[in-house]
Amino acid sequence: MAEESQSQQENSEENAEASQIVEAGPVSRWLTENDFGHECLNPDHQGIEIIKTQPEYLLPMATALYAYGFNYLQCQGGYDAGPGKELVSFYHLIKVSDHADRPEEVRLKVFLPRANPRVPSVYWIWKTADWQERESYDMFGIVYEGHPYLKRILMHEDWVGWPLRKDYVSPDFYELQHAY
């Protein structure tokens, strides 16, 4: 009886490990064939493939994906994984063509340390990244190196801190300046 219980426990552990393995999607397989180091994450709720890359590999990978046909940056943004955890810069890419009923989509994610969140700007590949990267900088403090005009876009230029970080402490008051 004890052996049967132990066998069932081992099977459940194997099933748990197997469920953590993410099957590579078509974009991930293409990146692997072309020697781009990355990690596959679980697809989102719509089945869109999510690929994790390191900051130093973002530009080569983004350039390759652009050449592969991902010619539209639908959305660039950031989020905070939690107090003390990493910040994430993400890029939702689409292959726009005249003959596609449902275009192919992929999402890139770059996980960054809180202390010095720096990642290359993709502005020079997709011009739509301009204001989106500025907003991520303004709200999370992610520095997009090589961006032509990285400065605050929503908060006043003298604002202290990054308001959408989960460890952000709101000031007791904010003095309205230049309101009238």
Give kind and range of the element (H or E) at residue 92. Answer: strand 87-94
Query: Number of structural domains, the chain?
Result: 1
Instruction: Find the CATH number of the domain harbouring 115.
Output: 3.30.460.80
Domain range enclosing 35: 17-145
* Side-chain half-sphere CA neighbours of 104 within 13 A: 13
In a domain, 41, yes or no: yes
For residue 32 the two structure tokens come to 């692997």
Mean pLDDT over each residue of the chain, to the nearest integer: 86
**Residue 54 maps to a domain:** yes
Portion of the chain with pLDDT greater than 70, in percent: 83
Q: What is the pLDDT averaged over residues 77-100? A: 91
| Residue 117 resides in a domain | yes
Bridge-based pairing of strands 49-53 and 72-80 is unpaired
Residue 130 within any structural domain of the chain: yes
In this prediction the pTM is: 0.82
Tell me the two tokens of residue 103: 């275009």
d(CA 140, CA 77): 10
